[in-house]
């Protein structure tokens, strides 16, 4: 089937047949893996929310007024960073999500701070942060926007994994009135190149789609097929996130017709059929609260990074559920919630994907603590 035929096939696939296919795909897994849903116990180091883009749906960007929460960060202060890491250790977190806007060093305020902290570039600051975090046996997962292949190469030895959402390759979104009209680095070509470069460098990688930002059903299926193709070429994609857009006060984008939970569930099921058991599928549990069991039945096997103490910087209005709540939801339909690391198991013993620095830290981590009572 070519792309167009595949899109038509998924458009016509009934929900009953989709569920049957998902059950068959799960049945292909070894018995001990069929009923497992994973998550990573993490916290966020938001290094700078200065960003050269202005995506219509974004609340994180420093240009969007913050009435509450963390406020704007030119460059995360050392003391604040130490404080967050300390809390992460107290809560037994294994992952630090290292986050920023796209090219924050395109702003003078950020460049001045970098100079004051003896860093020539923002990427150097990120590298130093990763090394610092690793000293505590915490594994960095880096998602800081578009990078060149040289920058990816510079960061790779110090990251357990990296991420960049494909979001959507619809060029309509770049046009006047589209959510990416003022976001130069949201051009699909740049994002595809970044994901492919990560593949060439053998970086365990997380990507995904942002749903409900003006794209259509055909775009979503096309993008999932594109991710599958990139993965077939490089075998580096560990996880695909399907993240639904949530409206919040202060942003400029209001969808004319928001996506329904039914639409999101359907594309999740289609993703499972496209990726079979090759790539994990995650939905952020704070954005689908109350529907967790439906998403498990439609093929997800991961709830992503969940923080026991801080907020979702991208969707601060949606608090993380507790681990015990998710554990209960899984158990109600015969599944088990299990902690994982930010680098998926299949990459840990592959030297080309997991550097010696990261492997040493992994060997010091104990994943066998039961958090069901926390």
The burial class, CB within 10 Å (0-12 / 13-18 / 19+), for 238 is: buried
- According to CB under 6 A, which one of 7, 51, 227, 287 is a site residue for ligand SF4? 51
C-alpha–C-alpha distance, residues 125 and 34, integer Å = 41
Query: Is 101 among the residues that bind ligand SF4 (CB under 6 A)?
Result: yes
Query: Which region among 8-16, 47-55, 169-177, 315-323 touches ligand SF4 (by CB under 6 A)?
Result: 47-55
The pair of structure tokens assigned to 171 is 């060029």
Closer to ligand SF4 by CB, 61 or 161: give it. 61
Distance of CA 301 to the CA centre of its chain: 14
Q: How far is CA 105 from CA 47, 100, 187, in A?
A: 11, 11, 20
* Residues in CB range of 242: below 8 A, 6 or more apart: 208, 209, 211, 264, 267, 268, 271, 281, 282, 283
Segment 168 to 227, residues that bind ligand SF4, using CB under 6 A:
183
Binding span for ligand SF4 by CB under 6 A among 53-61, 67-75, 224-232, 328-336: 53-61
Q: With contacts defined by CB under 6 A, how many residues of the chain interact with ligand SF4?
A: 11
Question: What's the CA gap between 177 and 331, in Å, rounded?
Answer: 45
Q: Based on CB atoms, which residue is closest to ligand SF4, 162 or 326? A: 162
Choice between 105 and 339, CB closer to ligand SF4: 105
Which residues, other chains included, contact 359 with Cβ-Cβ below 8 Å and sequence gap of 6+?
348
For residue 55, state whether it binds ligand SF4 (rule: CB under 6 A): yes
* Backbone φ and ψ of 24, nearest 5°: -65, -40
Minimum CB distance to ligand SF4, residue 187 (Å) = 12
Using CB under 6 A, pick the residue from 18, 22, 45, 58 that binds ligand SF4: 58
For residue 140, state whether it binds ligand SF4 (rule: CB under 6 A): no
State the binding string over 142-161 for ligand SF4 (x if CB under 6 A, else -). Answer: ---x----------------
Whose structure tokens read 């969007």? 64
Residue numbers at the binding site for ligand SF4 (CB under 6 A)? 51, 53-55, 58, 60-61, 101-102, 145, 183
């Amino acid at each position: 089937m070519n792309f167009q035929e595949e899109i038509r096939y998924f458009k016509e696939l009934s929900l009953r047949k989709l569920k049957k296919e998902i059950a068959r795909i799960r049945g292909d897994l070894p018995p001990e893996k069929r009923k497992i849903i994973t998550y990573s116990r993490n916290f966020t180091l938001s290094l700078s929310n200065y960003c050269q883009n202005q995506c219509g749906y974004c609340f994180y960007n420093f240009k969007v007024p913050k009435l509450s929460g963390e406020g704007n960060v030119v460059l995360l202060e050392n003391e604040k960073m130490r404080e967050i890491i300390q809390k992460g250790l107290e809560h037994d977190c294994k992952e630090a999500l290292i986050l920023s806007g796209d090219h924050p060093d395109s702003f003078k305020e950020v460049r001045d701070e970098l100079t004051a902290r003896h860093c020539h570039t923002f990427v150097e600051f990120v590298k130093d942060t990763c090394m610092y975090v690793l000293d505590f046996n915490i594994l960095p997962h880096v998602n800081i926007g578009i990078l060149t292949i040289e920058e990816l190469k510079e960061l790779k030895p110090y990251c357990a994994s990296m991420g960049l959402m494909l979001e959507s390759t619809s060029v309509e979104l770049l046009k006047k009135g589209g959510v990416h009209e003022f976001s130069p680095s949201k051009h699909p070509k740049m994002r595809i190149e970044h994901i492919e470069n990560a593949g060439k460098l053998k970086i365990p990688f997380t990507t995904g789609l942002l749903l409900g930002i003006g794209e259509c059903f055909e775009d979503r299926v096309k993008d999932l097929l594109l991710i599958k193709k990139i993965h077939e070429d490089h075998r580096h994609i560990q996880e695909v996130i399907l993240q639904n857009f949530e409206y919040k006060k202060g942003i400029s984008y209001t969808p004319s017709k928001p996506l329904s939970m039914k639409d999101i569930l359907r594309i999740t099921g289609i993703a499972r059929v496209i990726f079979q058991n090759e790539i994990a599928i995650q939905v952020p549990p704070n954005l689908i609260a109350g529907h967790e069991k439906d998403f498990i039945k439609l093929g997800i096997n991961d709830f992503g990074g969940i923080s026991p103490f801080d907020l979702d910087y991208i969707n601060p209005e949606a608090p993380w559920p507790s681990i015990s709540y998710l554990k209960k939801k899984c158990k109600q339909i015969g599944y088990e919630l299990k902690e994982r690391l930010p680098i998926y198991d299949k990459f840990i013993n592959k030297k080309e994907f997991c550097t010696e620095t990261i492997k040493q830290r992994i060997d010091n981590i104990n994943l066998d603590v039961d958090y069901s009572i926390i």
